[in-house]
Amino acid sequence: MNRHRLAAGILALGLLSGPVVAAVADAGEPPEPAVRTPEPALAPQSQPEPQVRLRPSRERGRTGRITPVAGAERLQVPAGVDPACAPWIEAGLRNGGGKAVYADLFAEIKPPLTASRPMISSYLPAGYELGVKLLIGIPPEAPLGEYPLTLRTGSESLTVPITVVDLAGLDNGGNVALRRTVTASSAHTGGNYPACSVVDGDRSSDGWAGGNGWNDATSRTWPDTLDITLGQERTLSRVDLYTIDTARYPASTYGLRDWDVQVRTGGQWQTVAEVRGNTSGVVRSDFAPVSADAVRILTRASNGANDFSRVIEVEAY
């Protein structure tokens, strides 16, 4: 059985507990409408993008055990993070035994932080592991500090430290836009496309419409804007933009084609880079160093399909 079919089967069995992460926009690309009702954000889809990843285990050999696995050894999250763009970690199970099993994974995190799924139950073939996005809820009143996330299955457990830091203390790798405030000119309501998703640190287009990218609400109408306030003056010389780009939704058909990169200095917006004719998933714009307290992406055209603006991530250095 191929992996995709297997993953779909697990979903169809409804064995996963916890909230469904997102609805997925669908329906066909309509003929030129006389009246603009909200248009689908994308072309037809046969099924939602899977929220479960099932794959052959990366660990070689049989351990004879079912063990919890996590996508990262630790996770740093900013206090006051927008709940529409909750941080997440991949959590799951590995079957190191010789036969298929049904197994349960229990997730616990130190309060007041919360995990989106207290339990994951799944069928798991021998030699496979699965991972599910576990969203981490961080109430505004949560004090800075460390909150262990414990994943258990049977007698096996794995602890991942989750550290809540203030925004200034966030390890941003030099990307001063990370987790800053974003304002979009509009956002499509036919799915989950929050503006804050363009600064959540996740560059992947996978799981489109599940909250990992922004889609504006004004089809075939330009320009659209994304404004990112940096919280203070920064010297900028580079902005990277990630547009949608997957096997199903390639950038050359669904991605952003033309845009201006602007920065705000002394309350005035100025254009520092212009991108035209893009067909790739990521574009780096370099420009002469400039002091600014905000970055704007002013979109001018996309590559066709429904003609929306679709942005996965914006990084500023």
The residue of the chain with the least Cβ separation from Ca ion equals 218
- The residue among 128 and 193 lying less far from Ca ion, judged by its C-beta, is 193
For the CA atoms of 230, 231, 237, 240, what is the dihedral angle to 10 degrees?
A: -20
315 touches Ca ion by CB under 5 A = no
Please pick, from the candidates 49, 129, 224, 245, the single residue that binds Ca ion as defined by CB under 5 A.
224
* Sole window of 11-19, 73-81, 165-173, 308-316 interacting with Ca ion (rule: CB under 5 A): 308-316
DSSP secondary structure letters along 89-123: EEEEEEE-SSS-EEEEEEEEE-TT-EES-SEEEEE
Beta carbon of residue 279, minimum distance to Ca ion (angstroms, whole number)? 19
205 touches Ca ion by CB under 5 A = no
Beta carbon of residue 220, minimum distance to Ca ion (angstroms, whole number)? 7
10 Å CB burial of residue 31 (0-12, 13-18, 19+) is: exposed
Beta carbon of residue 227, minimum distance to Ca ion (angstroms, whole number)? 15
- The residue among 3 and 53 lying less far from Ca ion, judged by its C-beta, is 53
278 touches Ca ion by CB under 5 A = no
For the CA atoms of 132, 113, 151, 197, what is the dihedral angle to 10 degrees?
A: 20
Nearby residues of 242 by Cβ (< 8 Å), 6 or more positions away: 203, 205, 281, 282, 311, 312, 313, 314
Beta carbon of residue 159, minimum distance to Ca ion (angstroms, whole number)? 27
Peptide bond into 223 cis (omega under 30): yes
Binding mask 183-202 for Ca ion (x = CB under 5 A): --------------x--x-x
313 touches Ca ion by CB under 5 A = yes
SS3 at position 127: coil
- Pure H helices in the chain: 3-12, 251-254
User: The tokens of 136 are what?
Assistant: 């981490």
Nearby residues of 250 by Cβ (< 8 Å), 6 or more positions away: none
116 touches Ca ion by CB under 5 A = no
C-alpha 286/C-alpha 178 separation (Å) is: 18
- The residue among 10 and 228 lying less far from Ca ion, judged by its C-beta, is 228
Please pick, from the candidates 63, 121, 181, 221, the single residue that binds Ca ion as defined by CB under 5 A.
221
* Sole window of 159-167, 169-177, 208-216, 244-252 interacting with Ca ion (rule: CB under 5 A): 208-216
Binding mask 143-182 for Ca ion (x = CB under 5 A): ----------------------------------------
- Pure H helices in 155-283: 251-254
245 touches Ca ion by CB under 5 A = no
> Beta strand pairing status for 156-165 and 75-78?
parallel
Q: Is the dihedral of CA 190, 261, 212, 245 positive or negative?
A: positive
Beta carbon of residue 67, minimum distance to Ca ion (angstroms, whole number)? 30
- Spacing of C-alpha 248 from chain mean position: 17
218 touches Ca ion by CB under 5 A = yes
- Pure H helices in 209-295: 251-254
Please pick, from the candidates 39, 49, 129, 216, the single residue that binds Ca ion as defined by CB under 5 A.
216
Question: Total residues contacting Ca ion (rule CB under 5 A)?
Answer: 9
246 touches Ca ion by CB under 5 A = no
* Sole window of 8-16, 89-97, 155-163, 218-226 interacting with Ca ion (rule: CB under 5 A): 218-226
Chain contacts with Ca ion (rule: CB under 5 A): 197, 200, 202, 216, 218, 221, 224, 312-313
